[in-house]
Structure 1
């Protein structure tokens, strides 16, 4: 036994006696002091155990000795235990009374550690720094004069740790700490600007990671306040200006507001001008300025001067930064992007070579598992791809693919970065004969899509993130169909699974957690209750998703109420789902249907999913027998775009009231597009399904469900055909209306949702809600819908137990006695009580944000009934929603067409099994006639309504009107049926 071990053993015996028997006399003996001194002289830098024994021994001596004789023992206890405090000795083994003092004494060392961490890539050192600052904050009283300073340092440490680990929990905690620090700091405190700057930087980082728009707005607010709180000439003003410029540039990239970009350039220049040449942060300011100038050049509002200034700024940033500096890789990657852009303008090979080399240097300077490595590898892959387009060398393509795939394998990176890298790699491999690998790469990208827009994000943020990846699922399915290594059946199954996984993701997120809870409530009531609570929290739309005409409150970095973190709720719900699925009998609870489950949805008729891509176009046919693919070579993206444009222009021209307008010619153009749609898409599909002519007299009409996806969703598949006069030869042979009853569904999973069993039995008697808006507050009198009064009156006489909500119409005298105003809240209050809801009103399809598409009710200016507002609605008794309004199935944002975000889908999601919607603007007179005829096919003389025949009723109604107006498809073709 060594001397150290012998001394440590003796002192442990003394300490144990003192602590267990409450007898300190062994510690006060002269021998104890001599032994402790000898042991202290034998310590090395790693000896925490011995220091802990020595520290506790001297602490007990300090407590026992009279005042005046205890100073040395206190100093030794602080020294020994302070070392233990810094080296992660558990709190419970340290004297509780001493912890605040130990925390205070640890600050100088912690500051040194933090300074080193800022310029280090050592993950262990960064983790240790964060841990010690967390401990310091935990044990420093809130009334301590430096408590806020310590909070601020902890926030910085957490940001640094996130940059190395990519763990979102670190970044979330940094922001929470940052908000606390700002809140606890007086407005005129000299440190407040620094705390605001740190908070702004953390918020901007989280925006880049998750795409949360409120984070970006708060980052700009914090950075702007930091600038305003810093006097001109102050050394930190340049830092705050540069951070503000970077945040403004980021917001420009999302929303395209020129004022943001111009202010970003101005702030960036001011930051550089206010900094000495040898300032350690000057390279950061130069890089941010270069990024802003590059963006302005790309908009076309800048000039060649901007591009040259950007190039010079980025090159100076690289030259000013040592190769081992943590930011060196970032500046190299930014330079690579700039050089690639300049090559596109100049075609100078030196720029292209420079882009590749700078990209390689960025990758080499970054640890493989660091989140930013994914960005640098993706950027390198882009530069190599550009060089491949020029060189056409196999080596460039191979290296580009390797870089992009490696980017996707950085698991700590943002999912959006990984997905875009995989998509680019798949597209590049698709230029080779290796379609198998191309398909595999895009399939991996599709599987990551739910992580790009997880349910914890606000709806607007999800939409922006998904819009940037529009068409990915279609491309993946197309490449799967082109994979020669698989059988035809396997290719078709794989392609349909990809389309089901990658389309209508936002709908799928809600449908997933609205499963039947009957069994769960019976067997595990506590889990069912918590599941419902979490689901309802996420269903509740956030203020950013609910548009209102009212001005927002003044912006604040400190929420007036505790924030309900949607991402935390979503994480808890995911964990709860995992727990439930591990229970016996619940393995498939709230899970998407497998192939067998999908096939079951074809029991009443096939489901046809279209896929139109640059690679190829197909229809995937789901029947009870299986899944097959029908190639559609004439259905190219360019052809669809041309026909969609021509179709909607012709619709507009068909209602032109100008005396010289040729509305007949416009109807002819509409018919030409419908004939093309038949020849290239619908006709080949119906022929393949065996529906090659009208059903025989007395034979039941077959049904088909269409899942168009993408641009094809802007055309009426149900109205496709060669529409001529009834006396023309072949009149009833080449139209969808004369072969099948058509219905629509966003996906097969959505059809399963519409058919799901209800948790409560339907009411004994059906009830109907009729909402009529013949006039509209805030709109011109010419926008009145006088026929809405007739429509509602007819329905009140026809439907069972109707409830009327109607706007008084001064123009016709209708509904003057109504005391039930059609507001959003009044509608929502009654939806849970009815089986049928009918709306005769204006509809508005939002041009950019489909979640803001709305039915215009009395309070449409302040509380509109939008797609987003319907998100929390979850009905048990609802059967039929009839939206007698314009464009309720139309989504105008082409990058979100695969998401099927429109009013028709929103009512399906709310629980209606059948929804009647419209694809374009409709005439209110014909709309009233169509509605009356439709309900005449559903009701008998006793007003009994068979909503299950909704699709057949609409089909018969449209055919009736077509017989009257065979050459005017714009009149009878807009209405469609969606659902079961």
Structure 2
């Protein structure tokens, strides 16, 4: 928000005493003054600037003055000639403008004071000019040193200057304008309402007198600012409407002066933003504010003293528009503008605190949307610096304390540290105690203190906190009119305080009143407001509470309706809409008549996931968001299955699995067809996807990098929508439909297993069918699988270095797990498919066995379905007797590899062996392992490459992977659960991480054998995300991968590799497609025969992924 107050300094010849014909002043001083004390988080800070008129507007006297200005300054300090003293004082004033050295301004004031004292009483015209110059310099010094005596004296001398002139004199209006500027400066510092009233009276007097156009511009602009302050003080819309009309007149009159036009446009934007902030309904006001402020900034060259203020004003408007519309680009712009403004403001500048305050507010707003902890840390730091730079009596201090309290509260909400909410309470208390108790902003300060106390009560249960919170919220309501934009917020806060007390003492009256308050809040809030989801969610919650007490079915319906509105709001916060849709679905689940709506609610949940887990953020942040989502996808799938909507269930399950993996793969979507019809758009899409992919896999949280990533994501979304406007491309990059998904079963059925607390089911996709087969698993439960996983976890926990195991899992425990998997998961599925009726024996050719691909969810994703069975003597109840098993992280992964690389040739083998990796235990058998592969390989240098020991550097291996279609890793590897992207292969000079591999796209990638520790063991907290090296290799472009669930015995890997490659490198072999699974099946059979069926730790870890 901008409020620039103009002052005039007279530099013309002393004899210019004929006002009707007086030449207009050829030098002007414009000072900027802002009042942030009434603002909440996100509003602007004050700034100061000085502008001069254009040389082309200056008469000859101006040229003379410039000559004097550039001459050496050697005034006769002891002169008794008031004219010489005045000239010297003005020269010091202009030198101050260039140097910003306060000593120059001090000297100017000393000389001008002496000139005024020596001016004879019979020379009123000379007296008014000297008094005007003295008053202007005193006001400027007050801006720098905040010494009240300066602004007090400035007001006095401007009044004296006016008294020397008759009413017909055109300079008299300038004197009153300068008087108003001094009074407004004092008001902005002390907040004394009488100063503001006197200033407005002075401006009215000035406008009633004859004024030159440029003087009138200054007066209109200043008067507009004063009215803006008055509006903030009293909240009267008439004041802000009049302020806008006055500054619009100033804009019209200043069109021939870039500097004056820039100032007036900036202030026009500020007044429009003030009016928008009051109603939050006139979106054209905020849009227009941004446009005129951008124009104001464009009129000033780089290096201009006014640029920091223009940046501040524009940034605040972007921030307000973000608060209203939720566009990330707006808040990024707001932060950038605020940062640039602070960077251009010297540390000694008295306006730096207000600009730091504004930066803190912008960072806070962005934190509340993106939850980047760095933003709130920087916000708190900026606010603290701003407060430390303010004089103790400054009127802005309450506002700064208030916003610092808000920042600490937000940090508490994010991290849950109690000392943060204590700080929030303390700063809010200080803010209220220091601020004027009759200010319109007091209700907002009260309500934020109430919020902080309420949250502290929720954690500590200290009843005085909630009692005080309710009292504060009650106190705020009478101070907020029915039509005020903040009233819904205050109603909501009081309601939630009452709900908290209700939960503590079960007083139904609190709950009843909370409902009444929330009903009023939801009636008042505009239907396109960003907070609509919050208020209706809270209303739904209170109805649900009352339903529990009264068992009134109508309350259940009311709660359902409130959550529905919250979830379906097009402008509501994404996270709140997401949570509202989840609650909406939970309430409807037991009510049969809401079956159709239940699907609608779950549909919103599924469709919002890409926005909750937005790829405008880093991969690490997206995984964190997925953790917060919980089991919403499996719940939606279970609901769809319960209604017989199997196709929809499979579509939803696919959308909700491996979300980050899918986002990165989406960036690699082939665009050959699009290029034929829109080549230029295709290139823009490819350029954006490349940059976004690089930044998506980067862990960098540097501010500039984060902003670029968000902008790239926004641009990507826009480009996708542009493509979808082209005929035949309406479904471009939309989630896969059932017509696509049923094509995955080219090498056998795919069993997708959904695990939810209410039911467990398998959805089967089979070749040559267009529908999904459903198989219920009634004996299975989520709780049972969690227990099985806990029992089996010892296998993963015991896997240390590849060659040395800390302990071995007990065969009995593993056998029990595998038995349950067989009887309650695998056998029912194979029975239904008719495979167990074939009565195949282990002596039959393995290639005659059918092939099945498993895609499990939840805790089942970590259990070895391929090894399920009852391992008693002569048992015919083992999965490997009936099927060859593979796994896939998603169905889309199979579609991509089947569709893009079927029949692709072997472009050569890259083998990596690490017998003596620095810092790791030796695994000398890796050389033997690769020697066995070499025996089957084509030794043409273009077809075979072996990096052994020191040769296997990270750079060399990553580069070679781009040139060979097959890759074999015989090395240590690690699963990094804290950050899945750091899971890696250990090479001689360091680690080759999953993040580095994901950042590549291996177009020739066909087959990868990861003979290393736990290369297919995912993150226990993210079972549906397939966070392991094997999935990463598929994501990077390899269509078929052999990996291990845990570290394997040193002697076992060569045996398995020998059999696998002997099968895959037959002279008559075709594509790898489908062959690797069979090769591994036979290899593991050999290993089982050598080590024994019950040596589960030896053969179970080997798995195949892909096709």
TM-score under structure 2 length normalisation: 0.71
- CA contact under 8 A between 1:541 and 1:868: conserved in structure 2? no
Residue 670 of structure 1 aligns with which residue?
814
Residue among 893, 896, 902 paired with 1:750: 893
Q: Deviations over 1:663-689 (max 9, x none)?
A: 67x211111111111111111111111
Q: SS of 1:743's equivalent? A: strand
C-alpha spacing 1:111/1:537, structure 2 compared with 1 (3 Å): closer
Residue 805 of structure 1 aligns with which residue?
947
CA–CA distance in structure 2, aligned partners of residues 583 and 846 of structure 1:
43
Q: Deviations over 1:875-913 (max 9, x none)?
A: 11111112222322223252x322223222111010000
Residue among 542, 548, 552 paired with 1:383: 542
C-alpha spacing 1:942/1:245, structure 2 compared with 1 (3 Å): farther
Residues 173-322 of structure 1: matches in 2 within 5 Å? 173-212=333-372, 214-230=374-390, 235-237=395-397, 239-251=399-411, 253-254=413-414, 258=417, 261-273=418-430, 275-276=432-433, 278-279=436-437, 303-305=460-462, 308-309=464-465, 312-313=468-469, 315-321=471-477, 322=479
Residue 16 of structure 1 aligns with which residue?
none
C-alpha spacing 1:160/1:751, structure 2 compared with 1 (3 Å): same
Q: Return the offset for 1:948.
A: 4.7
Q: Deviations over 1:219-253 (max 9, x none)?
A: 34544544554566655455445544544554455
Residue 905 of structure 1 aligns with which residue?
1031
Q: SS of 2:1051's equivalent? A: helix
Q: Deviations over 1:126-173 (max 9, x none)?
A: 445444444433434555443322322232233223323334443333
CA–CA distance in structure 1, aligned partners of residues 520 and 730 of structure 2:
48
Q: Deviations over 1:509-561 (max 9, x none)?
A: 22223233444556654444333221111110368626xxxxx9xx8x7x5xx
Residue among 912, 929, 937 paired with 1:791: 929
Residue 680 of structure 1 aligns with which residue?
824
C-alpha spacing 1:903/1:247, structure 2 compared with 1 (3 Å): farther
Instruction: Quote the RMSD (CA, aligned, Å).
Output: 4.0
- CA contact under 8 A between 2:218 and 2:250: conserved in structure 1? no
CA–CA distance in structure 2, aligned partners of residues 871 and 650 of structure 1:
27
Q: Deviations over 1:339-390 (max 9, x none)?
A: 5455445545455445544543443442221101111211222232233233
- 1:532 paired with 2:691, answer no
- CA contact under 8 A between 1:314 and 1:331: conserved in structure 2? no
- CA contact under 8 A between 2:254 and 2:261: conserved in structure 1? no
Q: SS of 1:889's equivalent? A: coil
Q: Return the offset for 1:336.
A: 4.2
Residue among 777, 782, 791 paired with 1:637: 782
CA–CA distance in structure 2, aligned partners of residues 891 and 911 of structure 1:
19
C-alpha spacing 1:266/1:900, structure 2 compared with 1 (3 Å): same
Residue among 587, 590, 607 paired with 1:428: 587
- CA contact under 8 A between 1:478 and 1:611: conserved in structure 2? yes
CA–CA distance in structure 2, aligned partners of residues 456 and 804 of structure 1:
39
Residue 153 of structure 1 aligns with which residue?
313
Q: Deviations over 1:791-831 (max 9, x none)?
A: 3444444444443334xxxxxxxx4xx4x2432x2222111
Residue 417 of structure 1 aligns with which residue?
576
Instruction: Name stretches of at least 5 consecutive residues in structure 1 with no aligned partner.
Output: 1-61, 547-551, 807-814
Residue among 452, 470, 476 paired with 2:636: 476
CA–CA distance in structure 2, aligned partners of residues 668 and 794 of structure 1:
34
Q: Return the offset for 1:637.
A: 1.6
Q: SS of 1:608's equivalent? A: strand
- CA contact under 8 A between 1:343 and 1:351: conserved in structure 2? yes
Q: Compare CA radii of gyration and give the structure with the larger one.
A: 2
C-alpha spacing 1:190/1:865, structure 2 compared with 1 (3 Å): farther
- 1:971 paired with 2:1098, answer yes
C-alpha spacing 1:387/1:794, structure 2 compared with 1 (3 Å): farther
Q: Deviations over 1:543-580 (max 9, x none)?
A: 8626xxxxx9xx8x7x5xx8762233233333333444
- CA contact under 8 A between 2:616 and 2:710: conserved in structure 1? yes
Residue among 640, 664, 682 paired with 1:510: 664
CA–CA distance in structure 2, aligned partners of residues 900 and 686 of structure 1:
24
- CA contact under 8 A between 1:770 and 1:839: conserved in structure 2? yes
Residue 740 of structure 2 aligns with which residue?
597
CA–CA distance in structure 2, aligned partners of residues 84 and 874 of structure 1:
59
Aligned residues: 865
C-alpha spacing 1:390/1:671, structure 2 compared with 1 (3 Å): farther
Residue 860 of structure 2 aligns with which residue?
712
Of the structure 1 ranges 639-648 and 586-595, higher mean CA displacement relative to structure 2 is found in 586-595
Residue 622 of structure 1 aligns with which residue?
765
CA–CA distance in structure 2, aligned partners of residues 701 and 147 of structure 1:
75
Q: SS of 2:1041's equivalent? A: strand
Following superposition, which runs of at least 4 residues in structure 1 exceed 6 angstroms of deviation? 62-71, 73-96, 653-657, 941-945
Residue 67 of structure 2 aligns with which residue?
none
C-alpha spacing 1:681/1:191, structure 2 compared with 1 (3 Å): farther
Residue 912 of structure 2 aligns with which residue?
770
- CA contact under 8 A between 2:811 and 2:1095: conserved in structure 1? yes
Q: Deviations over 1:62-89 (max 9, x none)?
A: 9999999998576789999999997999
Q: SS of 1:320's equivalent? A: helix
Q: SS of 2:1042's equivalent? A: strand
Residue among 843, 859, 862 paired with 2:973: 843
Of the structure 1 ranges 89-98 and 172-181, higher mean CA displacement relative to structure 2 is found in 89-98
Of the structure 1 ranges 422-431 and 360-369, higher mean CA displacement relative to structure 2 is found in 360-369
